[in-house]
Amino acid sequence: MRFEKIKSHAKVNLSLKVLGKRKSKLHDLETLVAFVDLHDQIFIKRTNNKNHIVKFSGDFSNKVPKINTVSNLLNILDKKKKLKNKYSILIKKNIPQEAGLGGGSMNAASLINYFEKKNKINLTLKERYDLCSKIGSDVILGIDQKNLIISYKKKTTKIKKNLKMFVLMVKPNFGCSTKVIFNRVRHYSKPQLSKLKSKNIDFNLMSKLKNDLEIISTKKYPRLQKLRDYFLNIDKNSYVRMSGSGSTIVGYFKSKKAALNAKKLLRKNYKNYWCNLSKTI
C-alpha cells in the first residue's frame, strides 16, 4: 500500500482575546484565525504492525517529544476503539515548535479530517469537539483549514473568504511556552467578534485588532519586543502582530513586493532567526 499525502497548514492568529478562565483552568478565547500555505507534510498508510508507527523528519523534527499530539490522538482513538487498523505515519516538519503557528495541533486536526473523510472513524459533532479538546485547545480550529475562523468558547464560525494577504513570519531562536504565557494572564477582555460579518472583515479592520498575549510575551522576552519594533518600522502600510502565545512575529502585507522587501531587511538584520514568506489560503 502506498503512502497518501496530507497537507497540514500553519495557522496565524489575526486577533486573540482572553475572556476568562474556566474551573478546568483552561481559558476562554475569542480568536480570528487564518491559514497560510506554509505546511507540514503528512504521509500515511495502513500497516500490519501491531502498533502505530509515527516518525518525524524535516527542519523542526528534533524537538518533537515522544508523546505528542499525533501519538495522543492515536492513543485516544484506540482506547475508544474507533480505529480498526494500525497506521504508519511520517511527518515532515516545516512548521517550527513553540511558535504560535499551531504546527502540532494542525497535525492532529489533519489526521482527524483524513480518518473521517476516508470513513475510518465516525464522530458526532460532540465527539469531535471532545476529541479535539483532549489533545489541545487549538486542534478544533484545524478541522477546516481552508476557511477563516472566528472562535468564541465552544462556537466556531467558518467564513469562506480568502483575505489575499502576504504573510511574513519571523521566529527568534527561542520559543514561547503556551502554558507559561497563559499562566501570566491577569486581565480579561470582552468579546468583540461574535457579531462580526464576513463582508466586514478587511485589511483595515484587522490592523486595529490585538493579541492579548502579545504584551505578556514581549515583556518576558525583550528580544521579541525588539523584533516587533523593528518590524513595525519597515512598512507603514502593513501591520504586525504576534501569533498565538508566540514566539513568531507576523507582518501582514497587501503586496508581494512590500513583503519581499521586508523579508530581505529582516534576514539581513536577524540572520539567525527563522523567516518564511507565505500567503493566506
- CA–CA distance, 122 with 105 (Å, rounded to integer): 20
pLDDT, position 197: 77
Cis previous bond, 194, omega within 30: no
pLDDT, position 156: 74
Q: Where are the domains of the chain?
A: 4-159, 166-279
- Catalytic residue (one of 11, 17, 171, 263): 11
Confidence of residue 163 (pLDDT cuts 50, 70, 90): confident
Let me know: does 168 contact 273? Beta carbons within 8 Å.
Answer: no
Is the pLDDT at 194 greater than 80? The verdict is no
- Catalytic residue (one of 92, 93, 138, 171): 138
What is the residue whose three cell numbers read 519571523? 170
Domains 4-159 and 166-279 share a fold: no
Is the pLDDT at 82 greater than 70? The verdict is yes
Domain topology for 166-279: Alpha-Beta Plaits (3.30.70)
Let me know: does 208 contact 14? Beta carbons within 8 Å.
Answer: no
Which has more confidence, 58 or 281? 58
How many Cα atoms within 13 Å fall on the side-chain side of residue 143?
20
Domain topology for 4-159: Ribosomal Protein S5; domain 2 (3.30.230)
Annotated catalytic residue 138: yes
Is the pLDDT at 161 greater than 90? The verdict is no
Annotated catalytic residue 11: yes
